[in-house]
Amino acid sequence: MSIPFKKKGLPEIGELVIAQIKKVFDYGAYANLLEYENLEAFIPWSEVSTKYVKDIKDLLKENQIAVGKVIRVEKKQGRIEVDISLKRVFEGEKRVKMLRWKRIQKAQKIIEMTAKNLGKTLNEAYKYVWAFLEKNIDPMTLIEEAVLKGPQRLIEIGINDVWAKALYEEAKKHVTIKIVRIRGIAKLVSYKANGIERIKSILSEIKSKFKKDNININIYTIGTPRYRIEIESHDYKIAEEIFNQIKAFLKESAHNIGIDLIEFEREELEKG
């Protein structure tokens, strides 16, 4: 299923995209890029899998949804050519991209129903709502925050009162927040001889130091030197507070134990 509000322009090299397989041939496959307007991509046979593939049709089927990584974008004689790779997408990247895709679909469906309730068009919904939400890495996050905090959260980002209140009322029908998950990506590098052990030590300390009643901390590698730190709570404010405390702890403590490079950025907020 495609989404009503699509991106204009072209994807960038290295960007992850949602592709729906259109036609499969011996030499590769063609796919529609569902997030973009009228944009098709080619998947070369050599970019389908890291393993030997005797018949590409054993792996790809028409209408299949896949996550691809853009490896070429070129304008040729009035047409645009985009190549994507499936084999260059890591499992962690695929999982996060598919999660975001599903959440974007849900967010846009709620907005679509809100527009219908107001007697407005999708063009108006794009102009007055989606144009503000799509600036966020995960638009559904803002809708969920509005369910937690009220329509004022939507007004804060520029959505007018009428749309904000209507979107809030519609979102309450579709969003049930049981667990809040705030995720961050930590990049930790140590050039010391026992650098890996130092990194493991600080990650272990985070897990034990900040785990409390009704708070769960999950940490896993998504490709050295990047680690995902996930905070689970039933309360958004508490999860946010723990996230900020971990960020401060990394900044204050990492250098003391020999971590040479520290970055910790918010990834997304998820509520299940």
pLDDT at 2: 56
What is the rounded distance in angstroms from the CA atom of residue 208 to the CA atom of residue 259? 19
CATH homologous superfamily of 92-174 equals: Translation initiation factor 2; subunit 1; domain 2 (1.10.150.190)
CATH topology of domain 180-271: Alpha-Beta Plaits (3.30.70)
Q: In what order do the strands lie in the sheet with 226-233?
A: 215-223, 226-233, 180-189, 261-271
Q: Is 271 in a helix, a strand, or coil?
A: strand
Q: Which residues contact 126 (CB under 8 A, 6 or more apart)?
A: 5
Q: Where are the domains of the chain?
A: 16-89, 92-174, 180-271
pLDDT at 30: 98
Q: Is 134 in a helix, a strand, or coil?
A: coil
- Whether the CB-CB separation of 61 and 6 falls below 8 Å is answered with no
* Domain 16-89 indexed as CATH 2.40.50.140: yes
pLDDT at 1: 47
Q: Is 234 in a helix, a strand, or coil?
A: coil
pLDDT at 13: 97
pLDDT at 268: 59
Residues paired with 270 in a beta bridge: 181
What is the rounded distance in angstroms from the CA atom of residue 136 to the CA atom of residue 132? 8
pLDDT at 269: 53
DSSP 138-162: SHHHHHHHHHHH-THHHHHTT--HH
CB-based burial of residue 22 (10 Å sphere; 0-12 exposed, 13-18 middle, 19+ buried)? middle
Could you check whether 16-89 and 180-271 share the same CATH topology? no
Ranges of the chain whose pLDDT falls below 70: 1-2, 268-272
